[in-house]
């Protein structure tokens, strides 16, 4: 099969490699679309934490957001058949340990992560093999392009669920990328009375408004803390921070209403992030981490199929897989507006 491999930092190879073998409990899928993510850039540069710890080594096939069609099944597979349209979890648990039995397979000590951790093969390729327990059928009526955003949607869904949004709450999401856009929509679905999206691109914020987000703040032009207070009753009760910016976390703490909650759903630069802890304590507030997307694919696929979660407006580019190097250049240049780039093998 054709595949993209990162051979070492900043070295991309597009070549022919062996097709993955299918284990008894796995399905083999032909990939229709694969989403490009900031994590893939971190893998390419060597800055990703798993590279630094030695849990991921070069060469690696990256990519973890995808949709595809089953072309073969292992002998123990019962719930899926050739021709089924599917997507899958990213964190693949062993299915046997205590964390997996509790449903926390994102914390499985034996886990692999598609496209990164422990070198589990990613989806920047023509085919991928995945255990059936981590596979989800794509509902009828949902396009393959839209379904390729199930993973970022599920990541946003898990963060929103951890936020425990009270009915009628005023919510702010920081970050206008895919996770932020999807988290803002999902906060609406969860029952927030008002959702504010803070970001840096007017074009992206306009797309958020088209998808039902009540208010937006461009932090290049407005003070986020001040504007958030003006748009709410003294500050948002829930803030979901998706940008991974160290300064954004400090902004979230300052903007938060007393007794509120902040959910962090990104990797941050460096090992340490400065958080105004005394402010957090004085506000009697909570700071919550959110890792991956366990148990979240089924609801987001349903929301997407029902039209409640709008993902098509977020797809700004579709490129052939072999043009990945051009995509990387575009992302690094930061001149062209993009939200989600899909690669097509």
**pLDDT tens-digit profile of 268-315?**
877 688 899 999 999 999 999 999 999 999 999 999 999 999 999 999
Whether 306 is covered by a domain: the verdict is no
154: Cα separation from own chain's centroid? 7
Pair 278, 332 in one domain: no
Which domain CATH number covers 75?
Answer: 3.90.180.10
Pair 29, 125 in one domain: yes
Pair 168, 206 in one domain: yes
Pair 105, 139 in one domain: yes
Whether 302 is covered by a domain: the verdict is no
Mean pLDDT in the chain? 97
Q: Where are the alpha helices (DSSP H) in 269-316?
A: 277-282, 297-306
Pair 229, 267 in one domain: yes
Q: Is the peptide bond preceding residue 59 cis, with omega within 30 degrees of 0?
A: yes
Q: State mean pLDDT over 143-161.
A: 98
Is a pLDDT exceeding 80 seen at residue 128?
A: yes
Whether 24 is covered by a domain: the verdict is yes
- What count of Cα atoms within 13 Å lies in the side-chain half-sphere of residue 78? 2
pLDDT of residue 268: 85
Whether 96 is covered by a domain: the verdict is yes
Number of domains in the chain: 2
Pair 164, 271 in one domain: yes
Whether 126 is covered by a domain: the verdict is yes
Whether 300 is covered by a domain: the verdict is no
Pair 145, 172 in one domain: no
Model confidence, pTM = 0.97
pLDDT of residue 267: 84
14 — pLDDT class (breaks 50, 70, 90): very high
Is a pLDDT exceeding 80 seen at residue 97?
A: yes
Pair 161, 281 in one domain: yes
Whether 305 is covered by a domain: the verdict is no
Pair 111, 89 in one domain: yes
Whether 301 is covered by a domain: the verdict is no
Looking at the chain, the whole-number percentage of residues with pLDDT higher than 90 is 97
Q: Which two tokens stand for residue 273?
A: 């992030």
Pair 22, 126 in one domain: yes
Taking only Cα atoms into account, the Rg of the chain, rounded to an integer number of angstroms, comes to: 20
Strands 65-73 and 26-36: antiparallel
Q: State mean pLDDT over 10-38.
A: 97
CA distance 136 to 160: 21
Q: Where are the beta strands (DSSP E) in 193-274?
A: 194-199, 215-218, 238-241, 261-264
Which domain CATH number covers 202?
Answer: 3.40.50.720
CA distance 40 to 56: 13
Q: State mean pLDDT over 171-178.
A: 98
Pair 100, 12 in one domain: yes
For tokens 């803070």, the residue is 198
Pair 57, 167 in one domain: no
Q: State mean pLDDT over 112-132.
A: 97
* Structural domain of 244: 153-289
- Per-residue burial over 216-241, b = 16 or more CB atoms within 10 Å of its CB, e = otherwise: bbbbeeeebbebbbebbeebbbbbbb
pLDDT of residue 271: 66
DSSP 15-36: EE-PPPPPPTTEEEEEEEEEEE
pLDDT of residue 269: 76
pLDDT of residue 270: 72
């Amino acid at each position: 099969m054709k595949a993209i491999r990162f051979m070492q930092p900043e070295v991309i190879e597009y070549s022919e490699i062996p097709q993955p073998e299918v284990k008894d409990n796995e399905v083999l899928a032909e990939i229709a679309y694969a989403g490009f993510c900031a994590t893939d850039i971190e893998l390419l540069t060597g800055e990703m934490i798993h590279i630094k710890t030695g849990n991921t080594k070069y060469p690696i096939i990256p990519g973890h957001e995808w949709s595809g069609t089953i072309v073969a099944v292992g002998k123990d597979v019962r719930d899926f058949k050739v021709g089924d349209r599917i997507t899958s979890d990213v964190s693949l648990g062993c299915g046997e340990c205590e964390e997996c039995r509790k449903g926390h397979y994102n914390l499985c000590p034996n886990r692999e992560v598609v496209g990164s951790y422990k070198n589990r093969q990613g989806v920047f390729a023509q085919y991928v093999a995945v255990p059936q327990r981590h596979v989800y059928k794509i509902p009828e009526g949902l396009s393959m392009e839209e379904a390729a955003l199930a993973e970022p949607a599920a990541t946003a869904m898990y963060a929103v669920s951890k936020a425990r949004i009270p009915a009628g709450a005023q919510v702010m999401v920081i970050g206008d990328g895919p996770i932020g856009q999807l988290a803002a929509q999902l906060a609406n679905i969860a029952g927030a009375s008002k959702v504010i999206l803070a970001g840096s691109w007017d074009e992206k914020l306009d797309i958020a408004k088209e998808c039902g987000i009540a208010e937006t703040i461009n932090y290049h032009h407005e003070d986020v803390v001040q504007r958030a207070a003006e748009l709410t009753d003294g500050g948002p009760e829930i803030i979901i921070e998706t940008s991974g910016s160290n300064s954004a976390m400090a902004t979230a703490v300052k903007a938060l209403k007393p007794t509120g909650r902040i959910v962090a759903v990104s990797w941050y630069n460096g090992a340490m992030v400065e958080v105004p802890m005394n402010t957090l304590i004085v506000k009697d507030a909570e700071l919550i981490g959110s890792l991956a997307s366990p148990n979240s694919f089924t609801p987001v696929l349903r929301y997407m199929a029902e039209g409640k979660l709008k993902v098509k407006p977020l797809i700004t580019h579709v490129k052939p897989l072999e043009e990945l190097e051009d995509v990387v250049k575009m992302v690094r240049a930061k001149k062209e507006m993009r939200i989600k780039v899909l690669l097509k093998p």
